[in-house]
Chain A
Amino acid sequence: MNYGFIIDNRKCIGCHACSTACKSENEVPLGVYRTWVKYVDTGIYPDTRRHFQVTRCNHCANPPCVRICPVTAMYQRADGIVDFNPDICIGCKACMQACPYDAIYIDPDTKSAAKCHYCAHRTEIGLLPACVVVCPEQAIIAGDTDNPSSVISSMLANVDVTVRKPEQGTAPKVFYIDGSDVSLHPTAVDRTPESFMWADVIPLHANGGSETHRDPGVSRKENGSAGQADSASNVQVSASVLESTGTGSSLSLRLSQPQGTPWDGPIQFGASMAEHMVQVAYNAQHKIPWHWPVPAYLVTKGIGAGIFIFLSLGLGLNWFSLDSLALVVTGFISLLFIGITTGLLVHDLEHPLRFFSILIRPQWRSWLTRGAFILVGFTIVAGIWWLLETGAYIGVWSDGTAETIRPFALWIGLPLAIGVAGYTGYLFAQAEGRDLWQSALLPAHLLIQAVMAGSAVLLVTFLFLPDTPENVIDIARTALVVAVILDLFVILVGEFTIPHASEVAARAAHDITHGRYRNYFWWGSIGLGHVVPLGIAVVLALTSDQPIAVAIAGLCAVAGLYLYEYAFVMAPQDIPNS
């Protein structure tokens, strides 16, 4: 048994009956959608067309939402339906990031993730999904693709079909007859035009985004890409790209764009380009799932883990020693930031009280689950060590006791701290809806950032600690400078030397460096986060040592890190997935 859908675009008239039947059957609240009919208008009068596309969960054979869900709230049934359980969902929204199709939303009533579930409650008793039954044109064909007597299986055998984003490897099971690239391919149209044909559009950044304006230099289709008036201006844009190069002959050539970077013309999708209207006339409203708590969590996690890594390596390898008070304070700060990290994670859950479900009913393939256990493990080990040091400091037990156990605690804690710093790289890689996040460099990059942030916060901490040995500060300063340089190197190399593998990743990267997030990137990350600290370091090296200046350099690096993470977390979420 393997359920799937065929959407027959030869028949679909765009009436939206499936949309309201679904709202009715599943009591779907306003503002969220399990299925909707995307409209895209194309052409030049009188050669124009409206493309309809019933858009919904693909019930992927290889569903990334199931893989990333930490608590099996998203699950794949034996009959191929990808279903969900709102009663156990913790509301982490990771499934929304994992879905490359914009199919999942948070239900405002249940606060849980929800989506099309093939009306599993109906198929269970032998009834077709509500959208199938209502369709005036019988343009939605549902059934068991394994059953040779089903209509869907004979159609699949006989009619050409296509799917959305096959390159994601999700094996979607919503098949389109006469699917059109302009509607199948989300980036063929502006994700958030200022209006739809009959409906308002909620700006993507209406809630939580610091910027709500549209930057004309950024969003190349900010004008809605409609028609000749706009085409005319776009043609001019294109024309500037069509400047002849210095070939020495009269031959005029197109300048090729950087790999994966969008053409500034009216429309492009895949290899096609057309100088005519392509405007989305209707689509579901979508909201960005993750906002400031996620980049903030990346920073606090880096600080907490970074401090511990610094201490465990420095003390373990006898690079330096610290007095009891310093150990208590630095250990506390590490734990504090890990605590804040956990706090941010829980805060960002739609069901904060269900946080413990991750531990009680873990889904082990999810890096959210694995990360939670790493965090817990680290917190236990680091906590025990800190209690040990604190006990010694206040005289509950002797310094000797602490000294005996310390190496074990630090060496056991080190891999956990590295895990804390780096696991998010694997988690982000599971978020298959955001191609930019799928980077093999990411775990290492996060580790560098942890060292950078950890040493920066230590340098600030040492300002307030009496009698900090000079060599500790030196080592921390060196660690900071080296980490900042490495981080800069990884960012610049990662960004500017190797093209991104997918158009979607390239678009997100382009938004970071040249688009909506360019100020975060250039002024925030590169300037404040790297150039300023390095500049201070150079100045200090040439002049006298100023611990306060070093601390400021560290704080700049941390601030820059947050701004970088903000751009890195937000930009891919701006790219439309439907």
Chain B
Amino acid sequence: MTQQSETNQETASSMDAGLPVFSETDMIPVRQPDGTLANYPPVEKWDDWVEWDAKSWPKKVARRYSLVPTVCFNCESACGLLAYVDKETFEIRKFEGNPAHPGSRGRNCAKGPATHNQTYDPERILYPLKRVGQRGEGRWKRITWHQALDEISMKMRQSRKQRRDGIVYHVGRPGEDGYANRCITAWGVDGHNSHTNICSAGARAGYSFWAGFDRPSPDHTHARVILLISSHLETGHYFNPHAQRIIEAKMKGAKIITFDPRLSNTASMSDVWLPTWPGSESTVLLAIANYLIQNDLYDKDFVRRWVNWEETLQAVADGQLEVDMAETTGDGSLPNNFDSFDKVLKALYSEFTFERAAEEAQVPEDRIRATAEFIAKCDGKLATHTWRSASIGNLGGWQVARCLFFLNVLTGSVGTPGGTLANSWNKFVPKPFKVPPPLETWNELHFPHEWPLAHYELSFLLPHFLEEGRGDIDVYFSRVYNPMWINPDGFMWLKSLQNEEQIKCHVALTPTWNESAWFADYVLPMGHAGERHDLMSQETHAGQWIAFRQPVRRVAMERAGKEVQYTYEANPGEVWEENEWWIQVSARMDPDGSLGIRKWFESPYRPGEIISVDEYYRWIFENSVPGLPEAAAAEGLSPLKYMRKYGAFEVTKDNYTPYEHDIPGLSTDEKKKLDSLIFRLAEIARGLARDVLDLKPEGVVIDSKKRVLKNGQAIGVMIDRKPKVGLNTPSRKLEFFSPTLRDWGWPEREYVVPWPLESHVHPDHIDRESGEMLLLPNFRLPTLVHTRSANSKWLYEISHKNPIWIHPSDAERLGLRSGDLAKVETEIGYFVDKVWVTEGIKPGIIAMSHHLGRWRLQEETGVNPGMSSLAHLDEPTEGNFKLNIIHGARPWESYDPDTSRIWWEDVGVHQNLTHAVHPDPVSGAHCWLQKATSVTKAGPNDKHGDVWVDTNRSMEVYRQWLAMTRSAVDVSPDGTRRPGWLKRPLKPVAEAYKLPEKPFGR
């Protein structure tokens, strides 16, 4: 016996903490046969796991746990968690990773374990609240859930009876797939609004125009070259799952290249860091493309097979795409063959030299050349990713995604192992029971006619639209969303949220206080990651999985034989889960079924009765997930029990190049017919076989673009005389030349093909001589998530402030040293923050993380006092708003002794308030990058955290950007509002696409 274990025995016997002490034989050894240690308790022990209490150690106090898998609800990655629920108290002791989860594979980032902080946040809201007095006055009374349900469902019912666009569900992080959308569809209102246009609209638009999918899914694991725009090793879309696989590839020798004006952790881990000037990314990417093109280093066979080069050549021939062919072809003739397309590419992009790119991006030319040489050798294994960052930062940022994906296309790295795949191939969203039919209406506040190509809702312009009188809202649900804080121009939101004519009823569904909820009429507490049901899937790698978020205490109680009818019975206080809330509120909205809503919320198992959450997921797992019932049966479990046990299921693996698949679902006759048409392809392409189309339009035919149509709908495409599924574009191919952009009002070269667009922060627009700088305001930290991590003490302890990064040369010019206060003026106002002088930022640029700067208006209530400042809000003159910080974070007393140990004060500055809105005229994305019209050392009257904004200027800037749009009213080729093939959340019926008779402003 060792000295140490003697000590343990001694203390164990001499001291008794009153906790159950088990003998050592109770422990389940999990050591591997070779003596090494294990990551997780084996799954078969999850129902009854015993381990030593960490806090009592080295006293051996055993604790029994029920291990329940769930899904993290911090960022969007949907990583697996495993909750350790105490079997006696049902206290959640900790969250670890779920080893059964195919995306996160048992590992997590800092935010995973911090889920525990959120669960036990002493400041969380535990009961439904209704405002007393004026909106924003900060007086609340506790109400019952019955009252909340009755009052809100009645307002919804009234609105629904009058109109189909009066209810809005505005969601920040959905954290689930399809549940809420199904409810909205069931209500029959075009009420979905999202955060997409402040996040990913630019990238989505770029990818959509190429390939019809709107999110990239890089297969990092197998890549040879990984090209990242922005910091995907610390913050990316699917941070932890992607970071795992990027580093795996790195360890196998892959080269990592990162574009970022700021030294991120990712940039630091990269082989090549390209600190490009924002807006120059497309030029750099095209210089790389040009290198591949001019040196014949691109995958010509792939491009010939899958790119719409014939359509492109036609556009050149028709004079729609201007190319100076004189040099390459001599006489300018362009026969209809791939060689001509090669010549077009060579002519088009010859101007994109490394020299030009280096000059525009202000980066060393050799780094661009090195990048190009790496990519040339990628062998079809180029994984690329852009999300937020440049594609959401710049005017025309959607072209960044397009230029980036161009490199995938040129290297043949589309859907290949190590290439970039589509989200739709790697994400699996199973169908729920009884899907309501598409909506029959169109919400003008979400999809106004000025932005026919927007991806998607112009969500951040809602207050500007309301201000203009475009409409009003009867019932506005904000959910996991803090619009006044997170959107640009927050004081415009403040105005709308305060205006009961514009937003008649605001219901905030939130677990904790936030700045916007303060201006709600109802604040309804919803559960955290371990307190709710959701089904999620994300495109983390080349495979598909689903993960099941569970209320872990409920599951543990049920395992212990307790009956739990509703999740709130197992949650703290009266915290509900949204699934049950939406079922209840929807059913009450239509108690007699007369509105046709109730029937969608009736159980598939108990006719006429309201569905339970168990039944909802049971149906999905039994009917909609291929392979799951079989896997469950193999373990003697029902599919629901299987998912409750493992929390995740892998649907497919290695889902590569699905566009190469044969067209599924064709009958033998249809196949025969296709075979008979193949030999006439040339005729068809030349338009000589029109008869084929005309004769049998209802059957399977091939059209002049070699698309396979069935009953008029494109279902595939002929590639090398073989029918393939193809992509979800109109041509079923990769659209280098976009007929959609041409047809919808953007026919110029810089829109129809991958091409740089001049950003609003192009060096020509930033007069650095006169003191203007570029503010990079939208980067993330690995430890925080937007405004939702201000309930996590462990995360805030590591990162709680967002100083302005500034290069020493700029700091010297301005007389600033680290810690000094600087005043940054934007188009509409200013803010004051400390500076962080660093060589890790490009000269001429200042950068601030966008997570921090939370505030509350009352000392006692509001955002957590350790994570927010107490602020004073004032409107001294009409439209002029001031926010002054009274004091920063402070310790306070609560049941958690840690709250009295808050040692930091600076919790950052709310910069977004001073950002003017910049809606991109094509993608509708808010172009986050800001021109700092002046950066100076703060004056004696400037205090840390001061913010001032003139919302009259806000509207002016809005109108400047609105003027750049090309309205569907003017450009629509067919009288519709939006190209039918482009994605839209909750696509309505075709009739709803028709342009209105009286569009706003016309």
Contacts and interface: CB of A to CB of B under 8 A. Distances in A.
B95 to A, nearest CB: 7
A41 B840 contact: yes
Nearest to B39: A133
A20 B113 contact: yes
Contacts of B840: 41, 45, 48, 50
A55 to B, nearest CB: 13
A137 B803 CA distance: 29
Contact of B55 (A26, A50, A122, A133): A26
A229 B263 contact: no
A44 B839 contact: yes
A50 B52 contact: no
Interface stretch (A143-151, A308-316, A329-337): A143-151
B106 A229 contact: no
B58 A85 contact: yes
Q: How large is the interface on A (under 10, 10 to 19, 20 to 34, 35 or more residues)?
A: 35 or more
Nearest to B57: A121
Contacts of B989: none
B898 A30 contact: yes
B808 interface: yes
B275 A202 contact: no
Interface in A71-121: 72, 75-79, 83, 85, 87-88, 108-109, 117, 119-121
A229 B806 CA distance: 11
A128 B37 contact: yes
B809 interface: yes
B781 to A, nearest CB: 6
A30 B798 contact: no
B817 A223 contact: yes
B28 A45 contact: no
B374 interface: no
B387 interface: no
B35 A149 contact: yes
A19 B113 CA distance: 10
Say what secondary structure dominates the interface of chain B. loop
Given A41-B263, A149-B36, A193-B818, A136 B904 contact: no
A277 interface: yes
B98 to A, nearest CB: 11
A250 to B, nearest CB: 33
A194 B797 CA distance: 16
A13 B809 contact: no
B549 interface: no
A50 B7 contact: no
Nearest to B782: A15
B472 to A, nearest CB: 41
Contact of A16 (B15, B32, B782, B793): B782
A385 B902 CA distance: 53
Interface in A40-80: 41, 43-46, 48-52, 72, 75-79
Interface in A319-364: none
A415 interface: no
B110 A19 contact: yes
B265 A13 contact: yes
Contact of A45 (B57, B266, B842): B842
Contacts of B801: 195, 198-200
A42 to B, nearest CB: 8
B904 A11 contact: no
Contacts of A535: none
B3 A87 contact: no
A126 B41 CA distance: 9
A134 B807 contact: no
B838 interface: yes
Contact of B96 (A44, A83, A130, A197): A130
Contacts of A20: 110-114, 794-795, 798
A15 B803 CA distance: 19
Interface stretch (B205-213, B243-251, B977-985): B243-251
Contacts of B111: 20
Contact of B52 (A43, A125, A223, A227): A125
A143 B797 CA distance: 30
Contact of A150 (B36, B247, B807, B839): B36
A88 B490 CA distance: 55
Contact of A122 (B51, B109, B799, B800): B51
B819 A224 contact: yes
Given A136-B244, A137-B247, A200-B904, A41 B800 contact: no
Contacts of A502: none
A23 interface: yes
A538 interface: no
B837 A121 contact: no
A24 interface: yes
A226 interface: yes
A183 interface: no
B108 A83 contact: no
Interface in B19-55: 27-32, 34-41, 51-55
A144 B32 CA distance: 13
B793 to A, nearest CB: 6
A491 to B, nearest CB: 37
B97 interface: yes
B268 A50 contact: yes
Interface string B56-85: 011100000000000000000000000000
A14 interface: yes
B902 A144 contact: no
A273 interface: no
B385 to A, nearest CB: 15
A366 B660 CA distance: 74
B106 A77 contact: no
Interface string A22-37: 0111110111000000
Given A29-B897, A142-B37, A195 B836 contact: yes
Contacts of B27: 124-125
Nearest to B41: A127
A199 B799 contact: yes
A462 interface: no
Contacts of B399: none
B251 A11 contact: yes
Contact of B807 (A45, A126, A198, A231): A45
A13 B97 contact: no
A279 interface: yes
B710 interface: no
A123 interface: yes
Contacts of B799: 198-199
Nearest to B240: A136
B901 interface: yes
B364 interface: yes
B304 interface: no
Interface string A533-547: 000000000000000
Given A20-B114, A228-B808, A25 B94 contact: yes
Given A200-B904, A228-B812, 14 more contacts: A30-B793, A48-B839, A72-B7, A87-B15, A127-B30, A133-B39, A133-B97, A142-B37, A149-B36, A151-B36, A195-B801, A200-B903, A226-B818, A230-B837
A-B pairs, top 3 by smallest CB distance, nearest first, are A227-B808, A126-B31, A198-B799
21 contacts: A11-B251, A13-B269, A17-B109, A20-B111, A27-B55, A30-B901, A30-B902, A45-B807, A45-B841, A46-B273, A48-B840, A83-B4, A123-B37, A126-B31, A126-B32, A127-B30, A127-B39, A195-B834, A197-B836, A223-B818, A230-B808
Interface of A: 10-11, 13-17, 19-21, 23-27, 29-31, 41, 43-46, 48-52, 72, 75-79, 83, 85, 87-88, 108-109, 117, 119-128, 130, 132-139, 142-144, 147, 149-151, 193-195, 197-200, 202, 223-224, 226-232, 276-277, 279, 281-282, 285
Interface of B: 2-4, 7, 11, 15, 27-32, 34-41, 51-55, 57-59, 94-97, 106-114, 116, 233-234, 240, 243-244, 247, 250-251, 263, 265-266, 268-269, 273, 275, 363-364, 781-783, 793-795, 797-803, 807-809, 811-812, 817-819, 834, 836-843, 849, 852, 897-898, 901-906
